[in-house]
Amino acid sequence: MAKKVTGPEIERLIQLLARVPGLGPRSARRAALHLIKKKEQLLAPLAIAMSEANDRVVMCSTCGNADTSDPCTICTDPSRDQNVLIVVEDVSDLWALERAAAMNAAYHVLGGTLSPLDGIGPEDLTIGPLVERVAGGAIKEIIIAVNATVEGQTTAHYITDQLAGSDVTITRLAHGVPVGGELDYLDEGTLAAALRSRTSF
Among 84, 87, 94, 139, binds its own copies (CB under 8 A): 94
Site for its own copies in 38-77 (CB under 8 A): 39, 42-47, 49-54, 56-57, 65-69, 72-74, 77
Site for its own copies in 162-181 (CB under 8 A): none
Task: Tell me whether residue 29 or residue 175 sits nearer to its own copies (CB atom).
Answer: 29
Q: Identity (one letter) of the amino acid at 12?
A: R
Select from 87-95, 123-131, 155-163, 192-200 the region that touches its own copies (CB under 8 A).
87-95
Count Cβ neighbours within 10 Å for each residue of 129-154 and write b for 16 or more, e otherwise: ebbebbeeeebeebbbbbbeeebbee
Task: Tell me whether residue 75 or residue 127 sits nearer to its own copies (CB atom).
Answer: 75
Min dist CB 201 to its own copies, Å, is: 29
Number of residues that bind its own copies (CB under 8 A): 61
134 is an interface residue for its own copies by CB under 8 A = no
Min dist CB 168 to its own copies, Å, is: 23
- Which residues lie near its own copies (CB under 8 A)? 1-7, 9-10, 12-13, 16-17, 19-23, 27-36, 39, 42-47, 49-54, 56-57, 65-69, 72-74, 77, 90-92, 94-95, 98-99, 101, 104
